[in-house]
Amino acid sequence: MGKGMRAGKKSSGGGQAAMQKQLQQMQAMQRKMDEIQAELDEKEVSTTAGGGAVSVTINGKKELTKIELKPEVVDPDDVEMLQDLIMVAVNEGLRQIEEMSANEMSKLTGGLGIPGL
């Protein structure tokens, strides 16, 4: 046995290289995730409610960018219905953006089972 070596003790040189490789892979994955997120931020979805009476557009940053109301849906005696239609359209748009984002990220992670991705 060489000088300074004890029985059962292994050299950590190979482990360091493996950790460095894993770190590089994680950094590459992070860069790819950032690219995908930037692409998603540029996307938009449009949804409707009330048979097209209310239309909304939401971007990938989950920001409401456009609301269109058909004149016939604007009834001063039934503001509550209009509020409900807007809420339905916005929530559907947010759901679609979330689904789009999850689908794109799952392509990258490939079932790695990483929580939150």
- CATH of residue 52's domain is 3.30.1310.10
Q: For 56-114, what is each residue's pLDDT tens digit?
A: 999 999 999 999 999 999 999 999 999 999 999 999 999 999 999 889 888 877 756 56
The answer to whether 87 touches 96, Cβ cutoff 8 Å, is no
Q: Which residue range(s) make up the domain with 93?
A: 18-109
Is 89 buried (19+), middle (13-18) or exposed (0-12) by CB count in 10 A? buried
d(CA 96, CA 7): 60
Q: CB count, 10 Å around CB of 34? A: 10
The predicted structure's pLDDT at residue 116: 59
Q: Do the domain assignments include residue 11?
A: no
Q: What is the pTM of this model?
A: 0.70
Q: Do the domain assignments include residue 42?
A: yes
- Which residue would you say has higher pLDDT here, 7 or 107? 107
Q: Do the domain assignments include residue 12?
A: no
Q: Do the domain assignments include residue 103?
A: yes
* Helix runs in 10-117, H state only: 13-42, 79-109
Report how many domains make up the chain.
1
d(CA 64, CA 34): 22
